[in-house]
């Protein structure tokens, strides 16, 4: 039987958002009073392939005010798969953010450890970023105007053989990107400069690698930098880990991933996605489907994909968003017999607006900022938004960076005078908080679902006895 730890939280509770993929340098929001989750599929997301059942330890350094995981042990089932959601609680303070914290996954039997760095903010403005925050006091200041990745991030090869990996970049902005590659082994890009625009958003580039004569895991990292752009959002990195052995090793069953993982797109513009399926040792058929999310149109319908031994298949599809200033979770489910796999991604519209709105909310909530300074912040944001509305998508990044700096300068006038634990960051867990968090987790896990079910029953009975989306907020 498949093993999905606490996954009912994701599907039963109306206050729980669909799970995002656990990714290094992930920053995301949780609505106040609600719950959002990240998920990790073991052993797939670690790139560890073994026929044996393996025990894993997951450990979070976040305060228990924020997440439901301190240290927990998980074991894979007979099909060598376990899906673990790690859930985070929205705080009453709508502008609260954690400091950077880590989630560490360890497989003691394999002497393997992988650490992810995350940040979480409590906010009514949905957003997700992947990358190092530009402003420590505003972790959501980055944007995902472009996405990069390898279609197969955990390829395998035999000693001394050559292989071609596929690198992808997607952006709906009319931009040029410089590419570079770093690796301890022989690896090269077919080109080092690519361009995108509204009508040609997706670029695919072969990466040629030669496996060395020594067994081991070798990293291949590609860096993409948006030209004529400054700031941390202008540069992204992605890494594939090539596993080299004398005999090619395959996972015991299929693995699954989505590209892109996080991307901002114009409203009503079909975003190009692909679902990657990589099979293991035994031929099989996988039933794939997307979990529908309101406000989106999907081109892919539920279908079966047949895979031979070691076969790699990429299934392309489009997703069209219909709402402005929106955040969507994208979830794909793959099933073959008792084996269930899940892949997640995020899609946003008007993320630049969300970033400015969030930064503005921080300033408006700052008790140390004067009324004149808050009015000045509103005027700065309003002027930028007028320019944004009339500009071509992705063309006003310099103005976006300038307004971020202007708003940050207002905040720095006050935060530099405050102790660190008052600068929009929740302090470390205080004694006694663990018990209250257990009670909260119990209420979220058991009481709320029962209450929801009872409410549905009452409404149904009353109806039987009877005779018979919000527009984009202004930045002011």
Top-confidence range, 12-21, 112-121, 187-196: 187-196
| pLDDT at site 135 | 58
If you average pLDDT over each of 50-59, 82-91, 261-270, which comes out highest? Answer: 261-270
Burial group, residue 442, by CB count within 10 angstroms (0-12, 13-18, 19+): exposed
d(CA 32, CA 236): 30
Average pLDDT score over residue span 409-429: 52
Return the pLDDT at 435: 35
- Check pLDDT > 60 for residue 238: yes
Considering only residues 475 and 77, tell me which one the structure prediction assigns the higher pLDDT: 77
Query: Which of 269, 270, 257 has its CA nearest to residue 166?
Result: 257
Give residue 414's pLDDT. Answer: 57
pLDDT of residue 367: 87
Return the pLDDT at 52: 72
In this prediction, residue 221 carries a pLDDT of: 96
pLDDT of residue 16: 41
How far CA 68 is from CA of 35, 285, 344, 360, 448, in Å, comes to 10, 35, 20, 30, 16
Residue 97: per-residue pLDDT = 84
**pLDDT at residue 429 in the model:** 37
The whole-model pTM stands at 0.78
- pLDDT higher than threshold 80 for residue 187: yes
Task: Answer whether residue 1 shows pLDDT above 50.
Answer: no
Mean pLDDT of 78-106: 83
Q: Are 130 and 38 in contact (CB under 8 A)?
A: no
* pLDDT cut 90: percent of the chain above it: 39
Which residue from 136, 138, 141, 240 is spatially nearest to 189, judged by alpha carbons? Answer: 240
Query: Confidence class of residue 436 from pLDDT cuts 50, 70 and 90?
Result: very low
Task: Calculate mean pLDDT across residues 147-176.
Answer: 94
Q: How far is 67 from 35, CA to CA, in rounded Å?
A: 9
Average pLDDT, the chain: 80
- What whole-number distance in Å separates Cα of residue 25 and Cα of residue 105? 15
Q: What is the mean pLDDT of residues 281-289?
A: 94
**Neighbour count for residue 446 (Cβ, 10 Å):** 10
Q: What is the SS3 assignment for the chain?
A: CCEECCCHHHHHCCCECCCEECCCCEEEEECCCCEEEEEEEECHHHCCCCCCCCEEEEEECCCCCCECCCEEEEECCCCCCEEEEEEEECCCCCCCECCCEEEEEEEHHHCEEEEEEEEEEECCCCCEEECCCCECCECCCCCCCEEEEECCCCCEEECCCEEEEEEEEEECCCEEEEEEEEECCEEEECCCEEEEECCECEEEEEEEEECCCCCEEEEEEEEEEECCCCCHHHEEEEEEEEEEECCCCCCCCCEEEEECCEEECCCCCCEEEEEEEECCCCCEEEEEEEECCCCEEECCCCEEEEECCCCEEEEEEEEEECCCCCEEEEEEEEEECCEEEEEEEEEECCHHHHHHHHHHHHHHCCCCCCHHHHHHHHHHHHHHHHHHHCCCCCCCHHHHHHHHHHHHHHHHHHHCCCCHHHCCECCCCCCCHHHHHHHHHHHHHHHHHHHHHHHHHHHHHHHHHCCCCCCCCCCC
Highest mean pLDDT (candidates 249-258, 310-319, 442-451, 455-464): 310-319
* Predicted local confidence at residue 96, as pLDDT: 81
What number is the average pLDDT over the span 262-288? 94
pLDDT at 103: 92
pLDDT beyond 70 at 282: yes
What is the tens place of the pLDDT at every residue in 292-336? 888 999 999 999 999 999 999 999 999 999 998 888 989 999 999
Indicate the pLDDT class of residue 143, thresholds 50, 70 and 90: confident
The phi-psi region of residue 419 (left if phi > 0; otherwise alpha if psi is between -120 and 50; otherwise beta) is: beta
pLDDT computed for residue 271 by the predictor: 96
pLDDT in tens, 8-43: 233 333 334 456 888 888 888 888 888 888 888 888
Structure tokens at 61: 């350094």
Peptide bond into 43 cis (omega under 30): yes
**For the chain, what percent of residues have pLDDT higher than 70?**
79
Using one digit for the tens of pLDDT, what is the confidence trace for 40-56?
888 888 877 676 778 88
Task: Please give the backbone phi and psi of residue 153, each rounded to the nearest 5 degrees, phi first.
Answer: -90, -5
Q: So where are the chain's domains? A: 3-348, 351-422
pLDDT for residue 205 is more than 90: yes
- The answer, yes or no, to whether residue 110 has pLDDT greater than 60, is yes
Identify the residue whose tokens are 């309101």.
294
For the ranges 11-15, 92-96, 156-160, 313-317, the one whose mean pLDDT is highest: 313-317
Over the stretch 361-399, which tens digit does the pLDDT of each residue have?
888 888 888 999 999 999 999 999 998 888 888 887 878
């Amino acid at each position: 039987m498949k093993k999905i730890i606490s996954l009912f939280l994701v599907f039963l509770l109306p206050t729980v958002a669909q799970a995002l993929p656990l990714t290094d340098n992930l920053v995301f929001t949780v609505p106040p009073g609600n719950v959002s989750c990240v998920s990790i599929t073991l052993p797939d997301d670690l790139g560890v392939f073994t026929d044996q059942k393996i025990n894993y330890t997951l450990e979070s350094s976040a305060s228990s005010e924020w997440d439901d995981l301190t240290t927990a042990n998980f074991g894979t089932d007979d099909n060598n798969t376990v899906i673990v959601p790690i859930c985070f609680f929205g705080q009453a303070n709508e502008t609260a953010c954690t400091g950077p914290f880590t989630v560490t996954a360890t497989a003691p039997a394999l002497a393997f450890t992988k650490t992810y760095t995350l940040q979480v903010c409590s906010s009514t403005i949905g957003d997700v970023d992947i990358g190092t925050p530009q402003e420590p006091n505003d972790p959501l200041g980055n944007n995902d105007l472009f996405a990069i990745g390898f279609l197969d991030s955990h390829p395998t090869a035999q000693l001394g053989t050559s292989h071609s990996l596929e690198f992808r970049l997607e952006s709906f902005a009319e931009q040029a990107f410089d590419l570079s590659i770093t690796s301890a082994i022989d690896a090269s890009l077919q080109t080092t400069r690519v361009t995108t625009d509204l009508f040609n958003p997706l670029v695919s580039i072969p990466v040629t690698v030669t496996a060395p004569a020594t067994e081991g895991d070798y990293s291949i990292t590609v860096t993409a930098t948006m030209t004529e752009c400054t700031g941390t959002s202008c540069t992204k990195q992605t890494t594939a880990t090539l596993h080299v052995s004398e005999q090619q090793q395959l996972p015991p069953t299929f693995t699954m991933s989505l590209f892109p993982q996080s991307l901002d797109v114009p409203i009503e513009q079909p975003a190009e996605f692909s679902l990657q399926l990589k099979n293991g040792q035994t031929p099989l058929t996988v039933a794939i489907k997307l979990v529908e999310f309101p406000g989106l149109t999907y081109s892919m319908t539920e279908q079966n994909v047949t895979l031979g031994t070691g076969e790699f298949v990429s299934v392309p599809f489009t997703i069209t968003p219909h709402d402005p200033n929106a955040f969507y979770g994208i979830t794909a489910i793959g099933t073959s017999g008792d084996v269930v796999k899940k892949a997640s991604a995020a899609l946003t519209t008007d993320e630049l607006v969300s970033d400015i709105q969030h930064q503005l909310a921080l300033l408006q909530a700052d008790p140390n900022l004067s009324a004149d300074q808050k009015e000045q912040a509103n005027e700065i944001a309003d002027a930028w938004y007028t320019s944004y509305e009339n500009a071509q998508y992705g063309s006003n990044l310099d103005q976006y960076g300038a307004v971020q700096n202007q708003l940050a300068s207002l905040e720095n006038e006050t935060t530099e005078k405050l102790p660190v634990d008052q600068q929009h960051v929740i302090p470390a867990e205080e004694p006694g908080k663990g018990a209250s968090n257990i009670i909260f987790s119990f209420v979220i896990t058991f009481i709320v679902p029962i209450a929801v079910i009872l409410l549905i029953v009452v409404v149904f009975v009353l109806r039987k006895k009877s005779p018979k989306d919000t527009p984009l907020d202004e930045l002011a």
